[in-house]
C-alpha cells in the first residue's frame, strides 16, 4: 500500500510542477501583452497628436513606409490593442484556474504526506 501512495504522491507532485510551468509561461505571455498594449496606447496617443496632413510612417521590420490612410492605421492599432486586452483577460482566467488547481493539489499533497508520516 505504501508504494501505491508513494506513486500517488509522485503523480501529484508532478502535476503541481506542470502547473507551475504553465503559470510561468502564462505570466510571460501576460507580461508581453501588457508591454504590447502600452506600446499601442502610446502609438495611438502620438498618432492623435500629429497634425492633419503631416506624413505618417509605419515600420515593417527594418523598413518604414508612408501611410496614406491615417484613419485606417488608427483603426488597425485600436483593434490590435482591443484584441490584446481580450487576450489578457483570457490569460488571467486561465491563470486563476491554474492557481486554484495548484492549491487543490497542494492540499492533497500535504494531507497525504501528513497521513503517511503519522502511520
User: Domains of the chain: which residue ranges?
Assistant: 2-118
pLDDT at 101: 96
Neighbours of 6 (CB within 10 A): 12
Question: C-alpha 25: how far from its chain's center?
Answer: 7
Note the pLDDT tens digit of each residue in 10-34.
Answer: 899 999 999 999 999 999 999 999 9
Note the pLDDT tens digit of each residue in 38-94.
Answer: 999 999 999 999 888 899 999 889 999 999 999 999 999 999 999 999 999 999 999
108 burial (CB, 10 Å; 0-12 / 13-18 / 19+) is middle
**36: which 3 cell numbers?**
504590447
Tell whether domain 2-118 is in CATH 3.40.50.300: no
Q: In whole angstroms, give the CA distance from residue 56 to residue 58.
A: 7
Amino acid at each position: 500500500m505504501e508504494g501505491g501512495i508513494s506513486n500517488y504522491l509522485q503523480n501529484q507532485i508532478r502535476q503541481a510542477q506542470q502547473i507551475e510551468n504553465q503559470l510561468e509561461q502564462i505570466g510571460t505571455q501576460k507580461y508581453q501583452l501588457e508591454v504590447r498594449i502600452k506600446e499601442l496606447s502610446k502609438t495611438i496617443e502620438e498618432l492623435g497628436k500629429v497634425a492633419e496632413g503631416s506624413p505618417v510612417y509605419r515600420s515593417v521590420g527594418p523598413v518604414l513606409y508612408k501611410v496614406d490612410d491615417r484613419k485606417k492605421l488608427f483603426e488597425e492599432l485600436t483593434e490590435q490593442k482591443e484584441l490584446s486586452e481580450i487576450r489578457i483577460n483570457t490569460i488571467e482566467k486561465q491563470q486563476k484556474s491554474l492557481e486554484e488547481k495548484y492549491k487543490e493539489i497542494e492540499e492533497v499533497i500535504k494531507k497525504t504526506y501528513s497521513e503517511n508520516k503519522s502511520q
